[in-house]
Every structure is written in structure tokens, then in C-alpha cells.
């Protein structure tokens, strides 16, 4: 399927006409509004809406909003109808309403290089899971030994924690190194200061579109229907803060300071040809978690690290989303099984995605064996964890026959921590 936008037909483009991911953009300081990516362009959906080319939402102005939430809340039928209409407008032999009208085309089709991308939806809630067996086993072995690597419940339920929606940011946002409380093994009491073991976690985030009713569980099939699409997600993690605070309630400050996501939401429909099954189970899951069909995706993933001042990045990991043990639909169904209400704009992080082989891990904690075996980058620098000035970039795409469905990138650069002196720590009696 070719588009009249020629760059969308290149075999290496991330945004062919079979993709059409949604996002929010602005241009020249204008108000942010909704668009889709295609080739090297962004199509302004608010323009198409205003001139009556989007029959699916006729009479509304949902694409003039600075978020996708209102559109996502409309559900599967509307998502499907909108996708069909956009393809009709953008394929080479389709409706010429944009292609054949110079005025419309100039207003609606904008070079991607000329726009600023924003957080694509208002994040309602953020839950992060621990859903990849290879990652859980690797990390568990580091801390508890191979005989106790997996918690007793891990093979039976999708484990997760509630994160901070307020610090979910779009790709390209700088990340401040967090301050926190840590307790080195050599210290009798905890210390306060900047995290020294700052890490990334390569994840995919499932974006909830349609809500459920509080008090009413959903099936795995229903959960899949509720998911609008997917983004790349970096769950930034301060490992030294995490190690001290982790018991008994799990991640808190170590995860709360920042989570980065890619600016384009790739829809379920675009990923449909790439569905794969979850792995064979060691223990049969309870009936409410059983999947009626394949609900994972074959998505290739990479992590790049570029030290501050370096002229190029090094690829430090290559892995695949298909290595997950739990699918996003299983995670969502489990989340809602007790009556939890899910809202449009909720995001579910998959958990760190790691494969079984060397170089397939989605965190520096694994790649460096807890910091004991630093990585040597192509530029000659060594890294055990992320240092100030480093830029971390996640990439992902599903590879088809002569085309790919890409996510763009999810990147963030680390800024130095604020000085602990801002708390006047020299005066221990200030709170008395």
C-alpha cells in the first residue's frame, strides 16, 4: 500500500501509510493539537476536522485539543473507522481531497522537521509491571541467588506497582539526576545525596483508551479491546535509592522522578500483523488470565547510549518485546480484576524487556552485572550506570515485508543533581 506522500513509501521509514501513529504537535508557537505521522510529514488532524474531511467525528472538535484522550475514549469502532478514513485520504489511489487540493495540502501536511512534539495524551494513571521472566530471573539472581531468583508469586500473577503520572514526560525532555536516601553496605546509617547508580529500563507502554466501570472486572479479551495503542517507555530507575527503600512496599522515590515515553502512539491496528503468543507456562494460569488468542507483538528493540560530548552513540542492547511473559491485556485484566477502574490515558509499563542471550538485556543493572563489569562504548568510554550528560535513546519497530511499523525514539539526557545544600543540611536542628 503506497501513499502519495513519497517518503512514506521508503522501505526504511518508520511511518508508512500502514502505520499512522497519533501524536500531539505544535508549530511556530501555535497551540498544540493532534496529528498523525506519515513519512517525513505530520498531518494536522484539526485542519481535516475543521473542513469536514473526517466524517467519523463530524460536528466535534476533538483533534483541536492538546491531547488524544477525548478521541481515545471513543472506543474501537471509532478508532477503526478513523483509521480507514485516513488511509483512504493518504493512499496513492484514494480520496484526492488532500492530494488534489493545494490549499488543503499546504495547511494539513507539515514537514516533521518544522514541528515540536508534545506528550501525546494526558496521563491519567501510571502502573509499571515486572513482566519479563528473563529480566526478573537475572535481577533476582543478582540479589538473591539463582535458587531464589523469582518471587513465589511471579509465575502466577503479573506483579506491578503504581507509579507517578505527574512525572511521565515526552521524549527529548531532560532528566534531573535524583537526590535520595541510600545506605551503602559499609555505612551504619543511611546517607543523603545524588543517586550514583542511575539506570534505564527498556519497556513498552500500553495506552488505555476505553474505560471500564468501577467494581466490574474485565476479561483478557475485553482488556485488549480497551487498549488504544503503544509507546516506547523508559522507566528511569535510581538503583541505590531503590535498594534501600524497596522493603516492604517496593519502588517509591527510586522510580518517581521521571518516566520518558515516545511522542507517537502506535495503534493496535497497525501492529495486528505482528501478533505472537506468550510463552509456554510452567504453571497454568488461573482462568481469568488465560488468553483467547496471541496478544504479544514481535517488536524489535534497541538501546543507545551517547556520552556527553561524544560524536556518536553506541548500541548497548538489542532485544524483542516477544520475550515478555505476560501480555499487556493480561496485565490490564489483572489490574482490573478487583474492581479497579481504568481510565482513558492510563498507561501500563510492560516491565523491563530482556532476552535470554548476552546483549539482550533492557537495563544497565543486567548489562553490567550490577556495575561489576562496565560496558566499553564505541567512543572508548566505560559505563556501569548512566552519568551526567549521557543521552539514552530507545528505539523500536515491527519489521514487515519491505516495510516497518516504527515508534520513533524515546530519549532523555541526564542533568546533574541539585546540590543537597538546598536543604540546609548543615543545620541538623532546623526541624526541632
The Cα 201–Cα 353 span in angstroms is 8
The Cα 293–Cα 416 span in angstroms is 46
The Cα 216–Cα 336 span in angstroms is 8
* First-residue to last-residue Cα distance in the chain: 70
Closest by CA to 157, choosing from 333, 275, 311, 11, is: 333
202 three-state secondary structure: strand
The bridge status of strand 259-261 relative to strand 168-170 is parallel
377, 315 Cβ separation under 8 angstroms: no
In terms of Cβ atoms closer than 10 Å to its own Cβ (0-12, 13-18, 19+), residue 334 is buried
Segment (H or E) for 77 = helix 76-90
What beta strand segments (E) does 124-283 contain? 126-129, 160-162, 168-170, 175-176, 179-182, 191-194, 198-199, 202-208, 227-234, 237-238, 259-261, 266-267, 275-276
Catalytic residue among 134, 135, 334, 335: 135
138 three-state secondary structure: helix
Residue 228 DSSP symbol:
E
Can you say whether residue 346 is alpha, beta or left, with left for phi > 0 and alpha for psi between -120 and 50 degrees?
beta
The Cα 62–Cα 66 span in angstroms is 9
Answer yes or no: 135 catalytic.
yes
What beta strand segments (E) does 185-313 contain? 191-194, 198-199, 202-208, 227-234, 237-238, 259-261, 266-267, 275-276, 296-297, 300-306
Instruction: Report phi then psi at 109, rounded to 5.
Output: -105, 110
36, 80 Cβ separation under 8 angstroms: no
Closest by CA to 299, choosing from 411, 206, 175, 165, is: 206
375, 382 Cβ separation under 8 angstroms: yes
392, 303 Cβ separation under 8 angstroms: yes
| Catalytic residue annotation | 135
Amino acid at each position: 500500500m503506497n501513499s502519495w506522500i513519497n517518503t512514506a513509501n521508503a522501505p526504511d521509514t518508520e511511518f508508512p501509510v500502514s502505520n499512522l501513529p497519533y501524536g500531539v504537535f505544535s508549530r511556530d508557537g501555535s497551540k498544540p493539537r493532534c496529528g498523525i505521522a506519515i513519512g517525513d510529514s505530520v498531518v494536522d488532524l484539526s485542519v481535516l476536522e475543521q473542513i469536514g474531511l473526517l466524517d467519523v467525528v463530524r460536528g466535534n472538535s476533538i483533534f483541536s485539543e492538546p491531547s488524544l484522550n477525548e478521541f481515545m475514549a471513543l472506543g474501537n469502532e471509532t478508532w477503526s473507522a478513523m483509521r480507514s478514513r485516513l488511509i483512504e485520504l493518504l493512499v496513492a489511489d484514494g480520496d484526492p481531497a488532500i492530494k488534489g487540493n493545494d490549499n488543503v495540502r499546504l495547511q494539513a501536511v507539515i514537514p516533521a522537521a518544522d514541528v515540536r512534539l508534545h506528550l501525546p495524551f494526558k496521563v491519567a494513571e501510571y502502573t509499571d509491571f515486572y513482566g519479563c521472566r528473563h529480566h526478573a530471573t537475572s535481577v533476582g539472581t543478582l540479589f538473591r541467588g539463582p535458587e531464589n531468583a523469582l518471587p513465589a508469586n511471579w509465575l502466577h500473577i503479573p506483579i506491578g506497582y503504581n507509579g507517578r503520572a505527574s512525572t511521565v514526560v515526552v521524549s527529548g525532555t531532560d532528566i534531573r539526576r535524583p537526590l535520595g536516601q541510600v545506605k551503602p553496605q559499609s555505612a551504619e546509617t543511611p546517607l543523603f545525596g545524588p543517586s550514583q547508580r542511575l539506570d534505564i529500563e527498556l519497556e513498552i507502554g500500553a495506552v488505555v483508551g476505553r474505560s471500564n466501570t468501577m467494581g466490574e472486572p474485565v476479561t483478557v479479551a475485553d482488556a485488549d479491546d480497551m487498549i488504544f495503542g503503544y509507546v516506547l517507555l523508559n522507566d528511569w530507575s535510581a538503583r541505590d535509592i531503590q535498594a534501600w527503600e524497596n522493603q516492604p512496599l517496593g519502588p517509591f522515590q527510586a522510580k518517581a522522578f521521571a518516566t520518558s515515553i515516545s511522542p507517537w502512539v502506535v495503534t493496535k491496528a497497525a501492529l495486528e500483523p505482528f501478533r505472537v503468543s506468550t510463552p509456554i507456562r510452567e504453571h497454568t494460569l488461573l482462568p481469568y488470565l488465560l488468553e483467547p488468542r496471541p496478544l504479544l507483538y514481535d517488536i524489535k528493540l534497541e538501546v543507545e547510549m551517547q556520552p556527553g560530548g561524544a560524536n556518536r552513540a553506541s548500541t548497548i542492547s538489542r532485544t524483542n518485546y516477544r520475550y515478555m511473559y505476560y501480555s499487556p491485556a493480561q496485565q490490564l485484566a489483572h489490574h482490573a480484576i478487583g474492581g479497579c477502574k481504568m481510565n482513558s490515558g492510563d498507561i501500563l509499563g510492560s516491565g523491563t524487556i530482556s532476552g535470554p542471550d548476552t546483549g539482550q538485556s533492557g537495563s544497565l543493572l543486567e548489562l553490567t552485572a550490577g556495575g561489576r563489569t562496565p560496558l566499553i562504548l564505541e567512543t572508548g568510554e566505560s559505563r556501569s550506570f548512566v552519568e551526567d550528560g549521557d543521552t539514552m535513546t530507545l528505539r523500536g519497530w515491527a519489521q514487515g515485508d519491505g516495510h516497518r511499523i516504527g515508534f520513533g525514539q524515546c530519549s532523555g539526557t541526564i542533568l546533574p543533581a541539585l546540590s543537597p545544600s538546598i536543604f540546609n543540611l548543615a543545620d541538623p536542628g532546623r526541624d526541632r
